[in-house]
Amino acid sequence: MEYKFRQELTENDFLVFYKLYLTKTFMRPLNIVLISIFFVVLLSGPFFGNYQTLYYAIGLAVFIAGLYYYMRGQGKRLYNGDPESFNMDYYVDENTLTFSTKEGSSSKMWSEFENLHEVEEFVFIYLKNKRVLIFKTDYVGSEVYDFIVERASRGMKAKNVIRYKK
């Protein structure tokens, strides 16, 4: 099977990916455990007569929330820096996925994809060098979408494939 299509991602489409990526990297289990330990230690200070640690805990919470919202704003700036780079032409066949933008084109074998993360109408396919390709069902059609998901996930380890239950 061979498919050829064009996909033009909007800012909202990109922000769906960026928010998922930010949450996935920022809220890793180790980070959650460390932050929780800091909060438990800092919030237990007043019980031992040290009320200053309560202010540290509040400051840490404000800092983490501010950092998270600042990084979410970075997604908009990243997209608005060059919106045309998110418009791609694709050629998909049994062995390769070829994509081209205004800068040039690249062809990848299906075995070069490392992770697949599917959420509702999107699928994010990560290359080994941590680059990502974003596909939306509305833009590519359900037949092409299913073909891409099937071919990309075929050689991956089960832990690297996250599927959305429909």
Instruction: Specify the CATH number for the domain of residue 144.
Output: 2.30.29.30
| 66 and 123 housed in the same domain | no
| 88 and 125 housed in the same domain | yes
| 41 and 62 housed in the same domain | yes
Residue at token pair 């704003």? 73
Dihedral pair phi/psi, residue 16, rounded to 5°: -60, -45
| 137 and 92 housed in the same domain | yes
pLDDT at residue 65 in the model: 87
Domain limit, last residue, from 81, 113, 138: 81
Domain holding 96, by residue range, is: 3-9+83-162
pLDDT at residue 155 in the model: 81
Residue at token pair 């040290």? 50
pLDDT at residue 62 in the model: 92
pLDDT at residue 27 in the model: 77
pLDDT at residue 109 in the model: 92
| 17 and 67 housed in the same domain | yes
Tens of pLDDT along 113-148? 998 988 888 889 998 877 889 999 888 888 998 899
Pick the closest to residue 136 from 10, 44, 52 (CA basis): 10
Pairing of strands 113-119, 122-127: antiparallel
Q: Is the pTM of this model over 0.85?
A: no
Are 156 and 115 within 8 A, CB to CB? yes
d(CA 36, CA 104): 46
Number of domains making up the chain: 2
Within the chain, which residues score under 50 in pLDDT? none
pLDDT at residue 166 in the model: 58
